[in-house]
Amino acid sequence: MWGGVDGLTEPDKPVLEVEDLAVHYHGAGTTFRVVDGASLRLRREEILGLAGESGCGKSTMVEGILRLVQAPGEIPSGRVLFHPRTGPAVDILRLGAEEVRRLRWTALAYVPQGSMNSLNPVARIADQLTDAMTAHGVPTDKITLSRLGSLLASVGLSPDLLSAYPHQLSGGMRQRVLIANSLALGPDVVIADEPTTGLDVNAQRMVLETLLRARREHHSALLFVSHDLAVHAELVDRVAVMYAGQVVELGEVEEIFSTALHPYTIGLLASMPRMEGPRKRLFGIPGLAPSPANWPVGCRFHPRCPFAFDRCRSESPVSREDASGHLVACHLYEPTESKRLDAMRARLTLDGGRFGTRLQDHPV
Amino acid sequence: MERRGAVPHAPQESQLADSVPNTALRAARIVRRRRVLMVVVRRLGGYVLSIWAAFTVTFIFFHLIPGSPIDAYAQQMENQFGQQVPLSSQVIAFWNKEFGLNGNVFEQYYRYLTNTLLRGNMGPSFIAFPEPASELIFHALPWTVGLFGSAVLISWIMGLVAGLLLAWFKDTVVAPTLTTLALAGAQIPYYLAALGLVFLFAFILLWLPQQGAYAASLTPHFDFRFIGSVLKHSILPGCSLVITSFLGWAISTRALVVSIMGEDFLLYAEAKGLRTGTILRHYVLRNAMLPQITGLGISLGFAVNGAYLVSYIFNYPGIGLLLVNALTQLDYNVLEGIVLISIVTVLTANLLLDLCLPLVDPRIE
């Protein structure tokens, strides 16, 4: 959508590859397989959106990628390959503690979700910008007041705030401080977890523009996590849709919005009101999101999927990629099931491209 | 720009550097300074008011004690000499005047306030008459402050470090066991620890002196032998205080640190790739220390009047021993003096704490 960025060297070369990542939590006598075999590939300098409803494992996946999972959580399997600009790829999950520490912030920066409590309440903003720089070997005389000030200015904040404490800042200002901080070392990848959630539209626009500028100026790739599809449509190049701890569909943002493949994505889009076009009744996906303690056998979406058939209940679908690089994990797209796929398409056409439960009290 | 050493993508840097201490900030600083001054004045006013109230309550309580201390004194003399010693009215009037008991209650109250508050004069001691009670107290005070003050400080620092370690390594095998042991150890009363230590080191092993503040053969002099003796004599009473209270500090620090370790800003600090030392010092300790500083202030306030039993067990010439002696011999003026000193130290510690906390915690205005 924002293609044609200057200095885009090898656009399809991945900078981060997540393969079969699993993050499990142990508690109450069971294992919560919050993320369970999720894969995605972040290309250099692209903005990849990670979408999905609450509780599908988006934030946990981010923590897994950054190796920030805290006990009682663990990462039982998976690989997170980081490709530096020079040199061979490294698996972040297999690195030693000191190697991971050095990789953080210079290679992988993080904009956390809980912006209200992510800053140290007893340290000045300047100190919290500085400590990451010194920890990664920026000499003290290179960290000037003007450098810190321009960092804040780049997210539209006054340099006066350098001497402020977090409690003196509003939520939107703190969020922007976190973003400014993540760009301090020009990282290869910025992983932003719901950076616009809870902000008013003005602050949202500011955040999005800052993230876009980060790519322009630092050539950073961005993994942008949000449950808000409208924000994805606004910002990202490609979208990965997560359901029940797995990535079920991944494709160019226009393709996802025009011709979504996975029934879940279709349902998700049907539940989103549109500003343009004729007024249509909104639909909700029937049923409830499953529990990570007990994922459904087979395809995890099958209990809620109106197109499910026998195979979906027993066999989990494998992700397959079409010629344009659009990935989907659904049995309907296997060559042998083309008749069922045609049936689904026919039914969707009849229903105006939508399925599911009509939402009540929504006038047409 | 070149002079400063150019930073990429910051073309407006000189302008930014100049704008930091701008006029709006300066104005805000002046307003803030005025507000701080107001707070200090208000706190000081409250301090003086509480001292006055506490002194008045003390006065009332001591006057509520049934009977006159002079009568009790006469009674004591009679018992001592086993015969009737009729005290003449002049003698009684003399003693009453000497102890500030002449005139009506308001006159006495006025004299009491001016004497104690303004002159620091608490009247003569009964036991050590005519030595002023204040003299006795100020002789005992340095011993108490020295021993108990340093014991509180040492146990606070040790507890902070131990609690930090217990929390940081909470997922290891050893830490939970140590925590349980500390929890049990913190419940041991300090006087029991004192008795145990005396028994072991002073009676069985004979390593350390069992009582006193310095060897009886020495006279207080500022030389190495005397100081060495003082230090040697302070080991057992000091340890009995440190051992139990440091465990208490460790337990509370551990709880604080564990809750801080669950905070978002700690995860963020880790994500930034900070070194463990930086995280511990700037993120964990700075946040855990704030409530503990409040606790330290309160403990230091009580250091003067706390732990009488340790003072008694070790026959340590501090306030504790003086208080026990004054209690058993009904030395009213000394008792009153100790009560007043305790009040003043607790209130002063609280005042200093109130005024200092905003310096360490930016959230407190």
Question: What are the φ and ψ backbone dihedral angles of A336, each rounded to 5 degrees?
Answer: -70, -15
Closest approach of B32 to chain A, Cα-based (Å)? 14
Structure confidence at residue A94 (pLDDT): 92
Nearest CB to A118 within list B9, B24, B268: B268
A149–B361 C-beta distance less than 8 A: no
For chain A, which residues score pLDDT lower than 50?
Answer: 1-9, 361-364
Find, in chain A, the residue whose alpha carbon is nearest to that of B28.
A160
**Rounded CA gap, A85 and A83, in Å?**
7
What confidence tens digit (pLDDT) does each residue in B139-166 have? Answer: 888 888 888 888 899 999 999 999 999 9
**Rounded CA gap, B111 and B107, in Å?**
6
Check pLDDT > 50 for residue B114: yes
B286–A122 C-beta distance less than 8 A: yes
Confidence of residue B318 (pLDDT cuts 50, 70, 90): confident
**Three-class secondary structure of residue B181 per DSSP:** helix
B172: tokens are 């290891």
A70–B269 C-beta distance less than 8 A: no
**Residues 64-93 of chain B whose Cβ lies under 8 A from any Cβ of chain A:** none
Mean pLDDT of the region B93-98: 77
Q: For the residues of A18-32, what is the DSSP string, one character each?
A: EEEEEEEEEETTEEE
**Rounded CA gap, A129 and A177, in Å?**
9
Structure confidence at residue A350 (pLDDT): 73
Mean pLDDT of the region B231-235: 84
A314: tokens are 């027993």
Check pLDDT > 80 for residue B263: yes
Structure confidence at residue A239 (pLDDT): 95
Q: For the residues of B188-225, what is the DSSP string, one character each?
A: S-HHHHHHHHIIIIIIIS--S--SSSS-TT----SSHH
Of B355, B319, B361, B354, the closest CA to residue B340 belongs to B319
Check pLDDT > 70 for residue B10: no
Angle (nearest 5°) at CA A73 between A71 and A79: 120
Structure confidence at residue A328 (pLDDT): 93
Check pLDDT > 70 for residue B18: no
> Which of A130, A131, A191 best tests the B interface by mutation, with the highest count of B CBs <10 A?
A131
Confidence of residue B21 (pLDDT cuts 50, 70, 90): very low
Contacts 24+ apart (CB under 8 A), B34-41: B35/B365, B36/B358, B39/B365, B40/B355
Is the model more confident about B219 or about B57?
B57
**Rounded CA gap, B277 and B190, in Å?**
34
**Rounded CA gap, B259 and B261, in Å?**
5
User: What sign does the dihedral B307-B313-B319-B324 (CA atoms) show?
Assistant: positive
Is the model more confident about B167 or about B80?
B167
Confidence of residue B7 (pLDDT cuts 50, 70, 90): very low
**Rounded CA gap, B314 and B2, in Å?**
71
Percent of the residues in chain B that have a pLDDT greater than 90, as a whole number: 19
Kind of pairing between the strands at A73-82 and A47-51: unpaired
Structure confidence at residue A192 (pLDDT): 93
Contacts of A124 in chain B (CB under 8 A): 362
Partners of B184 in beta bridges: none
Find, in chain B, the residue whose alpha carbon is nearest to that of A164.
B362
Check pLDDT > 50 for residue B6: no
Of B273, B272, B276, the closest CA to residue B285 belongs to B276
Q: Which residues fall within 8 angstroms of residue B267, CB to CB, at 6 or more apart? A: A68, A70, A112, A118
What confidence tens digit (pLDDT) does each residue in B208-228 have? Answer: 887 777 777 777 777 777 788
Average pLDDT of chain B to the nearest whole number: 81
Find, in chain B, the residue whose alpha carbon is nearest to that of A168.
B363
Confidence of residue B87 (pLDDT cuts 50, 70, 90): low
Q: What is the ipTM of this complex?
A: 0.87
Is the model more confident about B309 or about A10?
B309
Is the model more confident about B256 or about B333?
B256
pTM of the model: 0.78
Structure confidence at residue A136 (pLDDT): 93
